[in-house]
A = this chain, B = another copy of it.
Amino acid sequence: MIHIELQVELNYEIDAQGADFVFNIHAAQTPSQAISAESLLLSQSVVPHLHTDQATGNRYMRVRALPGELKLKYAATVDLAHHRADPAELGEVPVYRLPPEVIGYIYPSRYCQSDRLVRLAINEFGKLRQGYGRVQAIRDWVQSRVTFTPNSSNSSTSAIETLIERVGVCRDFAHLMIALCRAVNVPARFATGTDYGADPALGPPDFQAYVEVYLGDRWYIFDPSGTAIPMGFVRFGTGRDAADVAFATIFGGVRSHAPVIRASAVEDTVRGFVLPHHCREALSTDSGPQVVSGV
């Protein structure tokens, strides 16, 4: 089991007209990811509206902020008991057997224009044996072709541009991997949360975007940027792509400061807490079909 103490601090300065925010920075609650303690502090005395999306479990918080400074502090204690599987036993699911709530994730989306990449994906991956290994090959293809470079992309950068320009941040690696998976009819979705284990040379701890792919009977985690230790990811949200699960969607004139994020894992053999580490098993924080179909 992984035990993580998480702290997120966000700072904004808001114009005279005020601004609306939709945050997605609460840790998701799933059978594999339990929240044992949680707190949220807002520097303004405004009432946030919380909403958990039934289909995804994403926890959105809307805030109608007043002019001036807005400071937000979120802290959570998160216990992760990943579902683990042997990659060799994880097959792709044929389109006709995909659960209805999964099928939308093979369609193209704003930043993952898979419809334009079908020939490329078949040319590159069409002959590989289907299953976890093929998805891993897509991940490796993306990782080896794109160079991680801070500030090399912006909020309108999509998989097509990343494929051309060959540079990006974790968000861009994720969009390209998702687009390529969908182009061979493998459901893939965008996941957000907090980073763990990244090389400090890449910058201070940050939010993380990664990929979940539907294999066998649930969604498995992939980290196409290869910068982190996926076992330490705390999941906030999942969606079609970054349009669905931005950490903060802002309406109004706002200046943003860089987020301050701390995610520290606790090692404690008595309580069974190990540190996140690279492993060859497939990892999922998803609970499988029985819960999904219960939505």
Contact = CB atoms under 8 A, between A and B. Distances in A.
Interface string A82-125: 00000000000011100010011001111011011101100100
A53 B100 contact: yes
A22 B104 CA distance: 11
Q: Which of A113, A243, A251 has the most CB of B within 10 A?
A: A243
A185 B295 CA distance: 29
A51 interface: yes
A249 interface: yes
A72 to B, nearest CB: 16
Given A109-B110, A109-B243, A110-B109, A60 B100 contact: yes
B62 A116 contact: no
Interface residues of A, number: 44
Contacts of A113: 110, 156
Copies in the complex: 4
22 contacts: A20-B94, A49-B96, A51-B100, A60-B100, A62-B96, A107-B249, A108-B110, A109-B243, A110-B115, A115-B155, A115-B156, A115-B243, A116-B165, A119-B147, A119-B165, A119-B167, A120-B145, A120-B165, A120-B166, A123-B166, A160-B164, A164-B164
Interface of A: 20, 22, 49, 51, 53-55, 60, 62, 64, 94-96, 100, 103-104, 107-110, 112-113, 115-117, 119-120, 123, 145, 147, 155-156, 160, 163-167, 185, 243-244, 249, 251, 295
